Amino acid sequence: MSEQDESGQHESGAGASRRYVLALGAAAASTVVTIRPALAQTAGSIVNCEIPVPAPQAAGSYIAPDGSVVAPGTPGAFPPASRPLKGEEVKVMLRGGTPPGIDAESSQAYANYIRRLQAGMSGFTCYASLQMPR
């Protein structure tokens, strides 16, 4: 969208009428972006949110069983989740369950990591949404 605003509307030097040029954009372009609430409104928003484990700033770090972020290769700790976890999976994990494709022990370490998320950290919004009273 940022390129759009550069080229979208400018004065046409050629036309004697000094009409504005209005580009209709490409078929796949996006000219309407809706502001999504930082804290989602419903518990159901879980399908739409994801939690990276760990946060991108700590990418590659391992997760200890208590959920803390530790150096890669730390004995007893688990490798980072291979992809961001979906809200629905997180919900299962927070209840002590194991979502498909993740083994039981790392699942609990990830759950502990998520429980420690604080406002402002990647994934907190998703986590908070999961817990929102309805």
Partner 1 sequence: MRGGAALLVRLLRNPIAAERIGPEAWSEVIAAARAESLLGSLASRLGGMPLPAKLGALLDDARRDAERARVQALWEAEMARRALARLEVPVVLLKGTAYVAAGLSAGVGRSIGDLDILVPHHRLQAVQAALIDAGWEWVKEDGYDDLYYRRWMHELPPLIHRERDRMIDVHHTILPLTARRRPSAAALIAASERLGNGLRVLAPADMIVHAAAHLFADGDLAGGLRNLWDIDRLVRDFGARQGFWTELEQRARLHQLLGPVARSLRLSAALYGTSVDIALAGPARLSDRMYIRRLLARDGWGRATRPAVRLAFYIRSHWLRMPPLLLARHLWVKARR
Partner 2 sequence: MRHNLHLQIGPASFRIGSAWAAPIRALSALYQDYPQAELPCDFTVRLEPQKPWRRWLRPSVSIAGDYVLPGAAPLPLEHGLLAAEMGMNLQMALGQKRLLLLHAATVERGGRALVMTGESGAGKSTLAALLGESGWRLLGDEFALLDPDTGLLHPFPRAVSLKNGAIAVLEGKVAADRFGPLLVGTPKGHIRHLRPNREAIERAREPARPALILFPRFGADLPEAVRGVGAAEAFVRLTQASTNYGHLGLRGFEALTRLVTQTEARAIDYHQTATALRLVETLWAEDAA
Partner 3 sequence: MAGPRYTADPPGAMPTVELNGLTALFHVRSGMTHILAAPAPQILALLAEGPTTRETILARLTDRFAVESEGDVLELLEARLSELENAGLVWRS
Cβ–Cβ under 8 Å, residues 31 and 1: yes
**Binding flags for partner 1, 6-35, as an x/- string (CB under 8 A):** ----------------------------x-
Three-state SS at 41: coil
Task: Give the chain's end-to-end CA distance (angstroms, integer).
Answer: 35
Closest CB 77 distance from partner 3, rounded Å: 41
Tell me the C-alpha distance between 68 and 62, whole Å: 8
Residue 104 contact partner, candidates partner 3, partner 2, partner 1, none, CB within 5 to 8 A by sort of partner: none
**With binding defined as CB under 8 A, does residue 88 bind partner 1?**
yes
Token pair in block for residue 105: 């022990």
Cβ–Cβ under 8 Å, residues 84 and 91: no
Binding residues (CB under 8 A) for partner 2: these are 5, 35, 37-39, 41, 57, 67-68, 94, 112, 115-116, 118-122, 127-128, 130-133
Residues near partner 3 (CB under 8 A): 1, 4-6, 8-9, 12, 15, 19-35
